[in-house]
Amino acid sequence: MAELINVITPDAPFRAGERVLLVDDRRRTLMVELKVGTKSSTHNGSVAHDDIIDQLTGIKVLSTKGKMFRIMRPTLSESIEAMPRGAQVIYPKDLAQILMMGDIRPGHRVMESGVGSGALSMALLNMGAQVVGYEIREDFANRARNNVALNLGTEALSRYSVILADVYLGVGDELFDRVILDLPEPWRVLEHLHGKLRRGGILIAYQTSVGQLAQFRAELENQGFFLAQTKEVLVRDWYYSSMALRPDHRMVAHTGFLTMARIGAKPVRSESPGSVSLIDLDQ
């Protein structure tokens, strides 16, 4: 990996080690990592990184073929779309909704599993949260850390740890403000959250098919979670030209379902057979 930057400041001049977008006059984009003395070849000639380093976002540079490229610092959403991935990532439209449903704030301690390529981790860290990820695959854990460092800067790594473990077997002794699950059987994590997700804490799960969703909703009730709600996010782009302004013909119709719930007391069987009472583990 090239040299890493501690904090990527939106309005600062471009520095070596940053990733930037080269945008041509037909809006085609290429993401490149800036290195002193290096050139990136495009379909329209090559662009010298030394022409970009120390300049501000939006600058125009000419390629060796005399074509104009505008150089932009990528938004988080653009970075996520361009970053190397192994596992499927949560798309920006759903990430935005997760941040709002989860009421994610600076300083929140958030547990996330699995981390996959780190797209959700980046969205949480970008809000100022402290993130602890549980991930079963070491190669994914490493890729997620690299993506965080490259796209948010190494400062974000100081608020990010990834634990290599099977989260279905349990969660370490820590108290979290929020828990976000994106793995095949999230209902298997619920029993481990009592005493780990703090009172008033919010749980969110991202799921892609209704069978899993039904199982998760049922288990939420069994485990004493309450105020559960499930949503999906449909985003439609619009097409614009001087002749027409209308919705795009195509859209992404399905990504996943988002379910949120508050943690309640763990249900326990009382002495008398058949009856169920609640104890509050936070007492």
CB of 133 to ligand SAH, least distance (A): 9
CA–CA–CA angle 68, 69, 71 (5° rounding) = 145
CB of 155 to ligand SAH, least distance (A): 20
Give the nearer residue to ligand SAH in terms of CB position, either 14 or 206: 206
* Residue ranges in contact with ligand SAH by CB under 6 A: 87-90, 113-114, 116-120, 134-137, 140, 166-168, 182-183
Give the nearer residue to ligand SAH in terms of CB position, either 71 or 182: 182
What is the C-alpha separation between 176 and 192, in angstroms, rounded? 12
* CA nearest to 31, candidates 88, 76, 71, 77: 71
Question: CA 29, 5, 159, 108: dihedral to nearest 10 degrees?
Answer: -60
Give the nearer residue to ligand SAH in terms of CB position, either 118 or 264: 118
**With contact defined as beta carbons under 8 Å apart, do 83 and 144 qualify?**
no
Exposure on the CB side of residue 202, measured as CA atoms within 13 A? 14
CB of 166 to ligand SAH, least distance (A): 4
CB of 113 to ligand SAH, least distance (A): 5
Give the nearer residue to ligand SAH in terms of CB position, either 22 or 150: 150
Q: Which residue has the tokens 């390629």?
A: 63
Give the nearer residue to ligand SAH in terms of CB position, either 118 or 224: 118
* CA nearest to 84, candidates 50, 119, 45, 35: 119
CB of 264 to ligand SAH, least distance (A): 24
